[in-house]
Amino acid sequence: MTNASAPAFGGNAGMSSQYLEVRDLRVTFDGFTAVDGVDLTLMQGDLRFLIGPNGAGKTTLVDAITGLVPATGSVAKSGVELIGKKVHKIARLGVGRTFQTASVFEQLSVLQNLDIAAGAGRSALTLLRRRGSVSPRIEEALEITGLGHLRDKPAGILAHGQKQWLEIGMLLVQNADVLLLDEPVAGMSHDEREETGNLLRRIGGERTVVVVEHDMDFMRAFATSVTVLHAGKVLAEGTVEQVQADPKVQQVYLGTASAAEPEPTATKETENA
Ligand SMILES: Nc1ncnc2c1ncn2[C@@H]1O[C@H](COP(=O)(O)OP(=O)(O)OP(=O)(O)O)[C@@H](O)[C@H]1O
Ligand SMILES: [Mg+2]
């Protein structure tokens, strides 16, 4: 446990608790390289936004880290190599992810969804029923996601935002300490986005959170650091300000992330090669 209450730029680097080190990661589909030699270092306490145009390779990068697509290169979590390991093994090592579309069990209650996630292959559901109590881990997830009052409701009746929070809760009960969230606020109302950002801050201090996102306002409000992916490669990395001021990023994002006035610095980029 750390005393970190909120994520900070670059994470808690001083604690030398390096959590995820991606080196020369490559994913190829039938000769097309979707992830093209990506290096990424993520520290505990970092709330890293991963942005980039459609097709940049963001989801594929998350898929590769979580074992859903074959990849070459290296992904080390605190020194343990993940490449080559099976999806469930990677999840058990504490690397959890959500998908672009929420995937909760609609007919089951919020609590049952969390039970199943916590079970992860064991018969926790039966055990919990027999004890007639809720494990502290699940209580904590209910509290942190603000879903406690909905614990007995079927997940199907939850609002869009609440389903995403439940999915994050499901990662928490699995003890994920690296969370990769693929467009968690897509389709959310302004208030839900705000709530989600605050939730990410609450969970982010002691974990590593990567948020794949298109919403630039959301990124500006909550990112502690940003990586820009373009055509499978890391185009830029830094603080929100650094990334926004980067002419390469402005070129790729023209019209999307150009709310900040471009600095008239030496702009001799050859991006559209
Ligand atoms: N299973 C697959 N087979 C072949 N090509 C794929 C496969 N999955 C992704 N791709 C291709 O890889 C590239 C990267 O896709 P990816 O879904 O990772 O992009 P993304 O950055 O997540 O985009 P978006 O912002 O639209 O979600 C795209 O050109 C896509 O068509
Ligand atoms: Mg995607």
Q: Is the CB of 57 under 6 A from ligand 1?
A: yes
Reported as a single tens digit per residue, the pLDDT across 205-223 is 889 999 999 888 999 999 9
In a domain, 129, yes or no: no
Q: How far is the CA of 65 from the centre of ligand 1 (A)?
A: 15
In a domain, 145, yes or no: no
Average pLDDT over residues 119-136: 61
Distance in angstroms (rounded) separating the CA atoms of residues 22 and 140: 30
Which pLDDT band, with edges at 50, 70 and 90, does 270 fall under?
Answer: very low
Of 34, 68, 77, 266, which Cα lies nearest the Cα of 175? 77
Give percent of the chain above pLDDT 90: 70
Q: Where are the alpha helices (DSSP H) in 174-212?
A: 190-204
In a domain, 163, yes or no: no
In a domain, 201, yes or no: yes
Using CA atoms, how far residue 1 sits from 5, 9, 57, 118, in Å, is 11, 19, 33, 20
In a domain, 3, yes or no: no
Whether residue 3 is predicted with pLDDT greater than 50 in this model: the reply is: no
The CATH number covering residue 83 comes to: 3.40.50.300
Enumerate residues 6+ apart whose C-beta is below 8 A from 132: none
From the centroid of its chain, how far is CA 105? 21
Looking at 1-15, 132-146, 246-260, which range is the least confident one?
1-15
Q: Is 22 helix (H, G, I), strand (E, B) or coil?
A: strand
Q: How far is the CA of 155 from the centre of ligand 1 (A)?
A: 29
Number of domains, the chain: 1
Q: How far is the CA of 56 from the centre of ligand 1 (A)?
A: 7
Reported as a single tens digit per residue, the pLDDT across 169-198 is 999 999 999 999 999 999 899 999 999 999
Domain with 31, as residue range(s), is 19-105+174-271
Q: Is 162 helix (H, G, I), strand (E, B) or coil?
A: helix
Mutate to test the pocket of ligand 1, among 27, 28, 29 (most ligand atoms within 8 A of CB): 29
In a domain, 70, yes or no: yes
- Confidence at residue 60, expressed as pLDDT on a 0 to 100 scale: 98
Mutate to test the pocket of ligand 1, among 33, 60, 253 (most ligand atoms within 8 A of CB): 60
- Confidence at residue 5, expressed as pLDDT on a 0 to 100 scale: 52
In a domain, 14, yes or no: no
pTM of the model: 0.85
In a domain, 9, yes or no: no
Which pair of structure tokens corresponds to residue 51?
């942005």
Distance in angstroms (rounded) separating the CA atoms of residues 35 and 28: 7
Distance in angstroms (rounded) separating the CA atoms of residues 134 and 218: 34
Which pair of structure tokens corresponds to residue 121?
């292959």
Whether residue 88 is predicted with pLDDT greater than 80 in this model: the reply is: yes
Residue with tokens 């007995």: 152
